[in-house]
Structure 1
Amino acid sequence: MFRLSQKDIEAYHQKYFRPSCLRALNLRFSNWDFFAPFYDKTHDQIKVPPQLTLTPEDTVLNYFSILREAENIYGRGCGTIGQAKLPFPIAYNFLSQEYQNKLSYEGYVQTFSGIGHTSLIKLCRVPDRRRGIRFFYEIETIVGAESKNAEYFGYSYGFITLVKEQEGFRISEMSRIEEDFLCAPYHGWNHVGEAVVEVEYGHWCHLIEHIYPTIRNEYIKSIYFHGKDGADYCIIFAELTNGTDIEIAQFRKAGNAEWKQVYMKPEEECVMD
C-alpha cells in the first residue's frame, strides 16, 4: 500500500499550500489596439478574425488571451478593472454554434461571476481518439470576495474540446472545476498519481505485476506498469497547482505492438472499453 514518511508528509503539505508561480501563457493581446474595433459591438455583431482560429492551439491561446483582463467582479471603488466586460462578447464567439445554442451569452458571462483577471498557466493537448481535439488546462484567477472589499487567488482546471467549423476551430465543450487547497493535503491517496495507480489498477483491478519508475516532464507525470496479462500500461497525469494529480489518458501496449489508447474504469469493476 502507498505510504509516506513523516518527511514526505511535511513536503506533501507544503506542496498543497503553495500557489503557482508559473508564468502566464495567455499574453497575446496586451494593448487597447486589439479591442478597439469591438468597443461598441454586441456579441451577435462580432465576427472573429479568421487568423485567430487557424489551429486548435491558436484558438485556445487566443481565447484565454482575450479573457485575461475580462472582469465580472463585484463592485469596487477603484474604477475600471482591466478591459472590463469588453472581452466577453468577443470570447463568446470562440464557442461553436452548437455550444452557443446550449449556453446563452448571458449565461456565459455569468460563469465568470466574481472573476477580475485570468491567467492561463497550464495547457496540454490530450490524446483522445473518441472525442477528437481535446486539451487539459489550468487557470489562475483573481476573485473578488462578495462579503468584503478584498480579492484572492483561485485556481481551476478542466478540459476543452474543439471542432473544426467553416471559419476555423471553435470550442465545442469546456469544463471547469475549482481546486481545493485544504482537503487534499489532509485526506486520501487519490490525490497522488502513484497511489492512484497502485490502488485502482493494482488492489482493485489486480492488474499490476510491477510498476516502473515515474517519468516527469514539467507538470505531466507518466506512470508505467507491467500487467499480469503480459501487456504494458501507461497512465498519464497532470499535476495541478494544489498538488493533486489528475488522470488525463491511458495507454496499453501488448508485446511489440504500438501503444494504443484505452479507457479503463477501475471504479466500475475494472471494465476496459
Structure 2
Amino acid sequence: MRGNEAIIAETLGRAPDRSVGIGAWRFARWRQFIGSYDLPALVDPVFVVHVGGKPDTRFWEVDRWSEARSIPGCATIVPAGVATGWRIDGELDVVTVSIPVEQLQRQQAAEQFGAMRFAFADPLAIALTRQILAELYAPQTVESAAYVDTLLTALRAHTLRGASPETGMAIPNADTSSYRIHLIMNEILAHPERGHTLEALAQQAGLTPSHFCRVFRKSTGTTPHQYVMKARLDRAQELLGGSDMSIAAIADRLGFASQSHFTRAFRQYAGQTPSGWRHTIQ
C-alpha cells in the first residue's frame, strides 16, 4: 500500500524537499506554487505545519473555498480516509507529520485526528518543526542526528497529546507569571480579532489588572492594549497583501469599531492608509 508521502508527491508532482522518520512516523517538507490541488484520501492522518510562503491557503468546504486562510505559523489536521481540496495563492511551504493510525490508541488522540481541523494555532508544534528543519539543513553529524531524533520524539509526543492552552494556563504559583504572559502573548498573536480586555487578560494571568499591566509592560516593552493593536495591524497587513477582502471587511474581521477607526490606526502604524499600503505592495 502506498504511504502518505507517495500520495502527496504524486499529487504535487514532486518529491519532498526533506524527509526523515522516527519509527513509522514521517516528517516531510513540501514546497509548492500557485494552483488548486485535489489530494486523495491519505492512509494515515497528517499533522500539517505551515512554515512559510504567501499567507493565503484555503481548503475546499463541500461547495466553496473556506473563508478561513492558513498563514505561516498555523497548523492543520487532515484525517485519514478523507479526500481534500486545496487552493494555493503563491508559494506554499509546509511540513507534514504522518501519524500511523494504529498508534492512535488513546481516545483523545483518536478523536483529535478523526476530523478535519484547519488553520489553528499551536506555537510549540511550530517551534519544534522549525528547529527540526534548521537541523536538517545544517551539516550532519552524529550529535545533530541524535538531536533531530530527540526533537522528533518531542514533536510526536506533543501531537499525540494535542495543544492544551487551558491546561497551560493552570500555573500553580506566581513565580511563573512570565510563562503565563508568554502564553497570553501567543494567544493574542493567534487570535488578534478577539476582545482581549484588560480584565480578561489579567484573569488569565492570575493577576490584578494593575499588576498585570506592570508585568506585561516589563516583559514586552509595551502595554497590553498596544500589543493587541499591533497584532491586529500586523494581521491586517497580511490580509491586505494576501487577500481580496475589502477594507471594511478587514476592519470588521479584526474587531475594529469602524472602518474609519481602522484607517486611522493603520495610517499611524504603517504611515499609509490601508488602500495605499495594499496598492504599494501589490
Short-chain TM bin: under 0.3
Higher relative contact order structure (alpha carbons within 8 Å, sequence separation ≥ 6): 1
**TM-score (norm. length: structure 2):** 0.25
- Greater percentage in helix: 2
**TM-score (norm. length: structure 1):** 0.25
